[in-house]
Chains A and B, each alone.
Chain A
């Protein structure tokens, strides 16, 4: 297999994820887009690991999965809190840091 296939796939997923992060208004949807990004990166890791013939890529992908799980947990907790306080998770309204 060609390496560029996987890397290309990874890149496209990554960019779609970036688009999602920037364009989505709902907090949960933003988190989903972040998951897209993370998975894209995972593909990249494993592909490079397989290309080099080591298990390092796979191992790191496992770590990323763990971290992503933790991050989603915390992220959703925060979104929940925002929902509780503001009755909405519209990111348009979360601009208290406006200068």
Chain B
């Protein structure tokens, strides 16, 4: 296999990388060209540009698969051949004044980046770096593959070279395949879903642009490029969420998404700048990681940079506190939600952490501790998202919160050091979440509504294909074996290392809280997905009223406006029985493909030591995707050993969660009819009722963001209390952990901070209320007087004064002086002209006289004077 995909240079130990690995910039370029072509020529094409988008993204997908093949060949070659190289890249003495202690065998005082090759090492920056292999430190028969970096300098200023290039390793090719595949399927799906839309061509153009931007982001070689890609995908997200911007809620949602992302982007910029300077003024991802891993950059600096970048991740990847835009983003068309807000864009933050893992691992001290900011953030997001998913009636919103929850899982995995688990979960999640979203779209497409309680139910008999694929997707999401979600989720939970009680799993630390929260979230996932399954596919069909109206194009729901995607309903063939119908093949086939992937992708990464499969099949994904620490840009992380016990216990708990929901919905609600139990728990129990209230209001986050603390005390005080506690604890833990302070102190500090913040907020609120009551009236009178006499008086007098001045200026100065001068100039010219005119008599002899006279005088001057 190696020889098919890779080129060997004869006689040389070093194998040059495959052509595609070096030219991977083609893969983002093709959708970009597609964007331009669709924008200019799409309207003239027979299918409105969609065929071009599908074709070109298909080509990109093919190239991505071939690139993956070449990378696999690369890794295989490395496994079978030794090498003598010690470094992937040699940076020379780029780091001013830093004393590496690294003796690379060359003299000091070399110029920046110039070629001083020693034993064939390719030096950075180069035009293209061939992939070299570094010593694995093991048997001498295998080596670790270096990433393939290819770049050019596009601008150079003040000694700093700005480069643009590609960085290809296992993570990159994984994302390339996932993004192009999901994008291709979404494009095919969209041809049916938005057929007849008012901006059909524009939609496909932006889908192509988004794909190009995401691919560009994924192959980025330096952090500047990553920032560009990050922003680009944000812009595409804005454009696509607001696709039906004529309806106000849609454009509001698009703005909310963009602005919330902007808040996080501040953190992105600050973090990247810190990294730039900390790494000795270089933007290169490889270099930054290598320096972070080697201890060159101080841990405090890395911590601050990581926290800033975490802010960006919070906004882009929907982690808690800045996740509020994601549910509202469901206002966009469903295929867009599937592509952007489930499978690809939201994982940009996760990808960034995975890519810059050296920074995060060392900055947050992920190895060997029991809590850190990222893990805490991920865990809280997991739970919070899962809890919120329970109270949604809109199927897309359930899936949105589920996405938030799963992104929390990925963040959690990265936070506990289970890198491969996170990336693997990214891949499996992309497939099954996209499957779920597209399935939801398929259902909504036929009932013209997203509200589960109002218009769905019993869809199982009307839409069997959608039901089957949705079921498979849900089972994968819940994490039931042998579907994909089980393998990835189990790997994450094993990686937390908190299973020490029951036989130990190793891992990078003992993140027990993460294990507990993750398991709870898994249970809740099972529960709410069962709820969704019941409300959508079982019971009686409640949406008949939606199908009767022929003119319900105008019927809009406040939460989303994408119901009426197509002009031709196909309802003409309905008689009096209005029933929904299964969607066409262009919708169903992608669903089946994704369901198949949800079924089988899990088998790519059987855990090590899994007795049921041969050793050669275990950990394939990890083998090809996870970078080896010998390559210097990846930290040395420990891998947890999976445990049968953990797997079985977690699966059992998940089944319990599903069972609870099953009992509630399938048995009791079904028996009663309708969609909820009458006189249910939340109505009987005040605490439960308040909890439900809090959940429905999304923890009052939107209240706080939208209108500030001017809320009635009944809402404000507990909300303030909640946030104060959370903020204080988080702050305390993070600082304590980051600064390596031993355990009880962070909690104490956290508690103190929490109480302080709470008191501050509370007193501010009360003071505000107190002042308002006693001082209102006189203050109002005073303000009114001030306004009328002082402010207005000043303004009036200013106005009158201005008028008087203007009068003087006009009459005296403008008319008199300025105009007089101008007139004088004119009169003078005219007079002079009149006098001088007399010189021209028209008599030639007079001119001749002047001529001769002048010549004589000139001659005289020449003679006498000169």
Q: Direct contact between A and B in the complex (CB less than 8 angstroms)?
A: yes
Residues of chain A with a CB closer than 8 A to B852's CB: 18, 22
Is there contact, CB below 8 Å, between A95 and B845? Answer: no
Chain B contacts for A18, CB-based, 8 A: 852
Closest to B850 in A: A22
Interchain nearest-CB distance for B851 vs A (Å): 10
Interface size on A, residues (CB 8 A): 14
Q: Assess whether B845 is in contact with A21, with CB atoms less than 8 Å apart.
A: yes
Task: With A18-B852, A22-B852 as known contacts, state yes or no: A97 contacts B845, CB within 8 Å.
Answer: no
Total contacts A to B, CB within 8 angstroms? Answer: 32
Query: CB-CB < 8 A to A23: which residues of B?
Result: 845
How far does the Cβ of A65 sit from chain B's closest Cβ, in whole Å? 23
Query: Across the interface, do B843 and A22 meet the contact criterion of CB distance under 8 Å?
Result: no
Q: Among A18, A24, A91, A94, find the residue whose CB has the most chain B CB atoms closer than 10 A.
A: A18
Say whether A22 contacts B845, CB under 8 Å.
yes
Given contacts A18-B852, A21-B848, contact A99 B842 (CB under 8 A): yes
Chain A residues with Cβ below 8 Å from B845 are 21-24, 30, 91
Q: Are B844 and A94 in contact (CB under 8 A)?
A: yes
Q: Check B684 for interface membership: any CB of A closer than 8 A.
A: no
Of A21, A91, A94, A98, the residue contacting B840 (CB under 8 A) is A98
Q: Which residue of B lies closest to A99 (CB)?
A: B840
CB-contacts of B823-861 with A (<8 A): 837, 839-845, 848-849, 852
B-side contacts of A22, CB under 8 Å: 845, 848-849, 852
Majority-rule SS of B interface residues = helix
From residue 40 to 99 of chain A, which have CB atoms closer than 8 A to chain B?
Answer: 91-92, 94-99
Residues of A within 8 A of B849 (CB): 22
Q: Which residues of chain A have C-beta atoms less than 8 A from B837's C-beta? A: 99
Complex CA gap A91/B840 in Å reads 15
B848 touches A91 (CB 8 A): no
CA distance A92 to B839 in the complex (A): 16
Cβ-defined contact, A95 with B841, below 8 A: yes
B848 touches A98 (CB 8 A): no
Residues of B within 8 A of A24 (CB): 845
A95 partner, pick from B839, B842, B848, beta carbons under 8 A:
B842
Give every chain B residue within 8 A of A98 (Cβ-Cβ).
Answer: 840-843
The docked-state distance in angstroms from the alpha carbon of A7 to that of B220 is: 94
In whole angstroms, how far apart are the Cα atoms of A23 and B852 in the complex?
13
Question: With the chains together, A24 CA to B848 CA distance in Å?
Answer: 12
B836 to A, closest residue via Cβ: A99
Per DSSP, chain A at the interface is loop
Compute how far the CA of A97 lies from the CA of B842 in the bound complex, rounded to whole angstroms.
4
Q: Which residues of A contact B848 (CB under 8 A)?
A: 21-22
- Whole-angstrom distance between the alpha carbons of A30 and B379 in the complex? 116
The count of residues in chain B whose C-beta lies closer than 8 Å to any C-beta of chain A is 11
**Given the complex, which residues of B lie within 8 Å of A91, measured CB to CB?**
843-845
Whole-angstrom distance from the CB of B843 to the nearest CB of chain A?
A: 5
1-23 of chain A: CB within 8 A of chain B:
18, 21-23
CB distance from A38 to the nearest CB of B (A): 15
User: Considering the chains assembled together, what is the distance between the CA atoms of A94 and B839 in angstroms?
Assistant: 16
| Complex CA–CA separation, A22 to B853 (angstroms) | 11
Smallest CB separation, B450 vs chain A (Å): 89
Least CB distance, B834 to chain A, in whole angstroms: 11
What's the Cα separation between A69 and B481 when bound, in Å? 122
**Chain B residues within 8 Å of A99, by CB:** 837, 839-842
Residues of A within 8 Å of B841, CB to CB, are 95, 98-99
Which B residue sits closest to A23, measured CB to CB? Answer: B845
Chain B residues, CB < 8 A from A92: 843
**Contact: B842 with A96, CB < 8 Å?**
yes
For window 792-850 of chain B, which residues contact chain A by CB distance below 8 Å? 837, 839-845, 848-849
Nearest Cβ on chain B to A27's Cβ, whole angstroms: 10
- Enumerate chain A residues within 8 angstroms of B844, measured Cβ to Cβ: 91, 94
Docked complex Cα distance between A21 and B837 (Å):
24
Contacts of A30 in B (CB 8 A): 845
Chain A: minimal CB distance from B479 (Å)? 104
* Interface of chain B residues 99 through 135 with chain A (CB within 8 A): none
- Tell me the bound Cα distance from A24 to B849 in angstroms: 12
Q: In the assembled complex, how far is the CB of residue B396 from the closest CB belonging to chain A, in whole angstroms?
A: 89
Cα distance A98–B844 when bound, in Å? 10
Task: Mark A26-38 against chain B: 1 for CB-CB distance below 8 A, else 0.
Answer: 0000100000000
Cα A96 to Cα B845 with chains together (Å): 13
How near does chain A come to B858, taking the closest CB pair, in angstroms?
15
Cα of A24 to Cα of B852 in the assembled complex, Å: 15
Task: Give the distance to chain A from B504, nearest Cβ to Cβ, in Å.
Answer: 114
Nearest CB to that of B847 among chain A residues? A97
Residues of B within 8 A of A94 (CB): 842-844
Complex CA gap A88/B843 in Å reads 15
What is the distance, in angstroms, from A41's C-beta to the closest C-beta of chain B? 14
CB distance from A22 to the nearest CB of B (A): 5
**How far, in whole Å, are A98 and B840 apart by their CA atoms in the complex?**
6
- Please name all residues of chain B whose beta carbon is closer than 8 Å to the beta carbon of A21 when the two chains form the complex: 845, 848
Point out the residues of chain B lying under 8 angstroms from A96, CB to CB: 842
A22–B839 alpha-carbon span in the complex (Å): 16
As a 0/1 sequence over residues 755 to 774 of chain B, the CB contacts with chain A under 8 angstroms (1 = contact) are 00000000000000000000
User: Which residue of chain A has the shortest Cβ distance to B843 in the bound complex?
Assistant: A95
CB distance from A92 to the nearest CB of B (A): 7
**Chain A residues within 8 Å of B840, by CB:** 97-99
B830 CB → nearest A CB, Å: 15
Which chain A residue shows the least CB distance to B855? A18
Taken together as a complex, chains A and B put the C-alpha atoms of A77 and B443 apart, in Å, by 105
Taking each of A22, A23, A96, which has the highest tally of chain B beta carbons within 10 Å of its own beta carbon?
Answer: A22
Distance between A40 CB and nearest chain B CB, rounded to angstroms: 13
Closest residue of chain A to B840, judged by CB? A99
Bound CA span A23–B845, Å: 8
Roughly how many angstroms separate A22 CA and B844 CA in the complex, as a whole number? Answer: 9
One digit per residue, 1 when the CB lies within 8 angstroms of any chain A CB and 0 when it does not, for chain B 69-96 equals 0000000000000000000000000000
Interchain CA distance A30-B848 in the complex, whole Å: 12
CA distance A97 to B844 in the complex (A): 9
Residue of B whose beta carbon sits closest to that of A30: B845
Give chain B interface residues in 567-605, CB to chain A under 8 Å: none
Chain A residues with CB under 8 Å of B842's CB are 94-99
CB distance from A53 to the nearest CB of B (A): 27
Query: In whole angstroms, what is the CA distance A22 to B849 when docked?
Result: 6
A97 to B839, CA, bound (A): 11
Least distance between A99 CB and chain B CB atoms (Å): 3
* CA gap between A21 and B847 in the complex, in Å: 11
CA distance A22 to B848 in the complex (A): 7
* Residue among B837, B843, B848 with max Cβ neighbours from chain A (10 Å): B843
CB-CB nearest in chain A for B838: A99
Which residues on the A side are within 8 Å of B839 (C-beta)?
Answer: 99
Residues of B within 8 A of A97 (CB): 840, 842
Task: Report the separation of the CA atoms of residues A99 and B844 in the bound assembly, to the nearest whole angstrom.
Answer: 13
* B387-424 contact mask (Cβ, 8 Å, vs A): 1 or 0: 00000000000000000000000000000000000000
CB B850 to nearest CB in A, in angstroms, measures: 10
Determine the residue in chain A with the shortest Cβ distance to B846.
Answer: A22
Closest Cβ–Cβ distance, residue B829 to chain A (whole Å): 16
A23 to chain B, nearest CB (A): 8
Rounded to whole angstroms, the CA-CA distance of A33 and B848 in the bound complex is 13
Assembled-state Cα–Cα distance A23/B844 (Å): 11
Cα A98 to Cα B838 with chains together (Å): 9
Q: Which residue of A lies closest to B852 (CB)?
A: A18
What is the distance, in angstroms, from A29's C-beta to the closest C-beta of chain B? 11
- Extra A-B contacts (5), CB below 8 Å, given A21-B845, A23-B845: A18-B852, A91-B845, A92-B843, A94-B843, A95-B842
- Closest 10 A/B residue pairs (Cβ): A95-B842, A99-B840, A98-B842, A97-B842, A22-B849, A99-B837, A95-B843, A22-B845, A18-B852, A98-B841
Q: List 15 A-B contacts (CB under 8 A).
A: A18-B852, A22-B845, A22-B849, A23-B845, A30-B845, A91-B845, A94-B842, A94-B844, A95-B841, A96-B842, A98-B840, A98-B841, A98-B843, A99-B837, A99-B842
